Amino acid sequence: MREYVTSQGDVWDLIAHKLYGHEPYMWQLIEANPHLRHTVVFDSGIVLQVPDLEEPIEALDRPPWETDDWDVGDDE
């Protein structure tokens, strides 16, 4: 497990995106830091425990624009 030091204004989903590339992993961060679970917006300098992920990104429901199948071209 590693650590992350918050910046002023960090929120759980932003931190998860910075560290893991996907917001849904915020729940793993919250579970690893239960004493901060009621924090919405962080002050700077808060040390969070960052767990190693056991579940691969592909196991999460991802929006279509984050998949290889997404096509933004015209269908006309």
Instruction: Let me know if residue 67 belongs to a domain.
Output: no
User: d(Cα 70, Cα 24) in Å, to the nearest integer?
Assistant: 20
Instruction: Let me know if residue 60 belongs to a domain.
Output: no
User: d(Cα 63, Cα 8) in Å, to the nearest integer?
Assistant: 28
Under 8 Å between Cβ of 5 and 47: yes
Apex CA 28: angle with CA 11 and CA 20, to 5°?
70
Instruction: Let me know if residue 43 belongs to a domain.
Output: yes
Q: Which domain holds residue 26?
A: 2-53
Q: Domain with 15 in it: what CATH number? A: 3.10.350
User: Which pTM value belongs to this model?
Assistant: 0.70
Instruction: Let me know if residue 72 belongs to a domain.
Output: no
What pLDDT sits at residue 3?
97
Residues 14-53: tens digit of each pLDDT: 999 999 988 889 999 999 999 999 999 999 999 999 999 8
pLDDT for 71 beyond 80: no
What pLDDT sits at residue 69?
61
